[in-house]
Structure 1
Amino acid sequence: MNRINRVALVGATHGNEFTGAYLIKKYEQYPHLIGRDSFETLTLFANPKAFEVGRRYIDKDLNRCFKIQDLENPTLSSYEDIRAKDINQILGPKGKSQVDVILDLHSTTANMGLTILLGNQHPFSLQFAAHLSLTYPEVKVCWAAPVQSTLLKSICEFGFVIEVGPVAQGVLNADLFQKTEKLVYTILDYLEAYNQGSISQTNSTLTLYEYVKDIDYPRNDLGEIQAMIHQKLQFRDYEPLNPGEPMFITFDGKEITYEGESTVYPIFINEAAYYEKGIAMCVTEKRQVSV
């Protein structure tokens, strides 16, 4: 990337994730907080109808509506499909975006702390992530192998998601709200320094959690959940899960262990919004990347 001209801050992609929603409301009221000299900062309140009723979405998950085929399909007429097309006009079009960076602000019921989800491993993305993790050691960085992305952040090449948790749905947590706000300002300051050419080019190592797969809850033939996240695994996002260690516990107390061949690092453990998606946790591998 040669220069950053426009940055979009997005909140309320999911209407019951209040951290990002109320940060966007704050920035719309006090735009000077996110103003920087070398680029324009836009705000977008992604799913206002879902926010009004305190739900994740109205008809379908907005953050799964940004496949190019779906954006170009005039027959898709749900509220979120129409809203995705509107957002694509505001920030996109996808692949030729009017913005250079998207920061999509989310919260999770899982114990994810402060997490940055990368869209790619472009040198700019890795340098950006390395700077944040050096500035805030509590920040974790995740990446999923490129697929046909359905996420809002995929509108532009340098789209990033900030996930913070644990925060209950439809609830504000002052500590995590303030930490997220501080992280947003740090990111904007980094982008300003990048434009000014004042980022020091020092070699560093980035700890990257690379997505491997999703794991569902044990279910019966009717699709009903037959076990819960084991209490020894609950809230242990980013901690090692070794072969033979408990993952689930059935309602009658039987342990179900992890049967993989190597140590993995689960994230989004017991995320409330993922029950409907058939996801009990996402499994990642931890590796070191030279930046």
Structure 2
Amino acid sequence: MFSECGAGLSFDSKMERVTLPQMSRIAICGGTHGNEMSGVYLVREMQKLKVDQAGSVSITTVLSNPLAVDACRRYIETDLNRCFTNALLSAPLTDSTPYELRRAQELNAQLGPKGSQEAVDVLCDLHNTTANMGVCLIFYSLDWITLHIYKYIQSQMTSVPVRAIQIDVPMSEAYSLESVGKHGFAIEIGPQPTGVVRADIFNMAKEAVDLTVEWIQGFNSGSTFEGGEVEVYTVAKSLDYPRDPATNEITAAIHPQLQDNDFKLLKPGDPIFLSFSGETVKHEGEELYPIFVNECAYYEKKIAFHLARKNTLTFPSLSVKKD
């Protein structure tokens, strides 16, 4: 019924249960983007309190991009969260190598190497978005550990929407920091402006991290977590803003009816942009779900929002593998 997937997974098809080794090392990272402040302050707080152990779990806390944090900028030379493909991690360093690529290789040496048995068991990277995304887990491979943690966080954080996005690319091409761990995911929470920390958003990040550690402790202690179903979103395409063909400047903003409505089904004919001259641009094509709507950092990437499909993933029960 279930195929083998993820790192080192074994699956008993008769019992519909996966067993995995105990997870002893996790990493909590913040400041991969230096102006996304929840992760920055949460990691600093954990370091100040010397939070490095929780029961059977050793916790490593990392400020991923310290120069960008000090400058309160997303990055110094290039986006660190696009530097973790196998090709970039193995690229030779020269005098012209961007700072972030050098830092990516340092993080890979500290927390990985990516794809190896020496890598941390779970890597959780904390991000903020200016879009109204609530709490969102982002991951690559179809990983039973990640899906169970997602289900657990979703079941406990009932006051805010908790959703997940799967990026469907091979792990060798996975470009963000969480791909360095044996199991990994980003926690994206918004809306929060860049360079700002909001108490409510910070507390959501802290609760999600606490629940992640709590789930891993429960798993290590021998608890069996029942299988089930979760909904995840996969990106189908990205839309840019309307632009002036002569100057390439944008000519419209996100329509008020779309603004702040991430994950709300977008149907053909629904308004998506409002031009500066007052004209409405409507959605064409299939019904899809908008995500990262009007994300500040995506202006430079020429992305107004992504459009995603919603899928249901089924996963088995999970327990620790007995020695």
**Alpha-carbon separation, structure 2, partners of 1:141 and 1:193:** 22
Worse overlay, 277-286 or 220-229: 220-229
Select the residue among 87, 103, 106 that pairs with 1:86.
106
**Alpha-carbon separation, structure 2, partners of 1:24 and 1:85:** 20
Q: Is the CA contact 1:119–1:158 (under 8 Å) kept in the aligned structure 2?
A: no
Mapped pair 1:284 → 2:308: yes
Select the residue among 77, 81, 84 that pairs with 1:63.
81
**Alpha-carbon separation, structure 1, partners of 2:64 and 2:39:** 10
Number of the residue aligned with 1:134: 155
Within a 5 Å distance, the mapping from 1:241-260 to structure 2 comes to 241-260=266-285
Select the residue among 251, 259, 270 that pairs with 1:234.
259
Give how far 1:128 is off.
2.2
Mapped pair 1:19 → 2:38: yes
Mapped pair 1:144 → 2:164: no
**Alpha-carbon separation, structure 1, partners of 2:224 and 2:124:** 20
Structure showing greater radius of gyration is 2
Give how far 1:37 is off.
1.4
**Alpha-carbon separation, structure 1, partners of 2:308 and 2:103:** 32
RMSD: 1.4
Number of the residue aligned with 2:217: 192
**Alpha-carbon separation, structure 1, partners of 2:224 and 2:206:** 22
Give how far 1:274 is off.
0.5
Q: Is the CA contact 1:218–1:227 (under 8 Å) kept in the aligned structure 2?
A: yes
Q: Structure 2, unaligned stretches of length 5 or more?
A: 1-19, 316-323
Q: Is the CA contact 2:243–2:249 (under 8 Å) kept in the aligned structure 1?
A: yes
Q: Is the CA contact 1:235–1:269 (under 8 Å) kept in the aligned structure 2?
A: yes
Q: Is the CA contact 1:119–1:157 (under 8 Å) kept in the aligned structure 2?
A: no
Within a 5 Å distance, the mapping from 1:110-121 to structure 2 comes to 110-121=131-142
Number of the residue aligned with 2:24: 5
Report the 3-state secondary structure (helix = DSSP H, G, I; strand = E; otherwise coil) of the residue aligned with 1:171. Answer: coil
**Alpha-carbon separation, structure 2, partners of 1:58 and 1:218:** 29
Mapped pair 1:275 → 2:296: no
Give how far 1:207 is off.
1.6
TM-score normalized with structure 2 length: 0.86
**Alpha-carbon separation, structure 1, partners of 2:181 and 2:123:** 7
Aligned length: 288
Q: Structure 1, unaligned stretches of length 5 or more?
A: none
**Alpha-carbon separation, structure 1, partners of 2:199 and 2:143:** 33
Select the residue among 18, 28, 33 that pairs with 2:47.
28
- The Cα offsets for residues 253-289 of structure 1, whole Å up to 9 and x where unpaired, read as 111111012x211110000001001111111112222
Report the 3-state secondary structure (helix = DSSP H, G, I; strand = E; otherwise coil) of the residue aligned with 2:184. Answer: strand
Give how far 1:65 is off.
0.9
**Alpha-carbon separation, structure 1, partners of 2:69 and 2:190:** 19
Report the 3-state secondary structure (helix = DSSP H, G, I; strand = E; otherwise coil) of the residue aligned with 1:277. Answer: coil
Q: Is the CA contact 1:11–1:104 (under 8 Å) kept in the aligned structure 2?
A: yes
**Alpha-carbon separation, structure 1, partners of 2:225 and 2:97:** 48
Report the 3-state secondary structure (helix = DSSP H, G, I; strand = E; otherwise coil) of the residue aligned with 1:209. Answer: strand
Select the residue among 49, 66, 83 that pairs with 2:67.
49
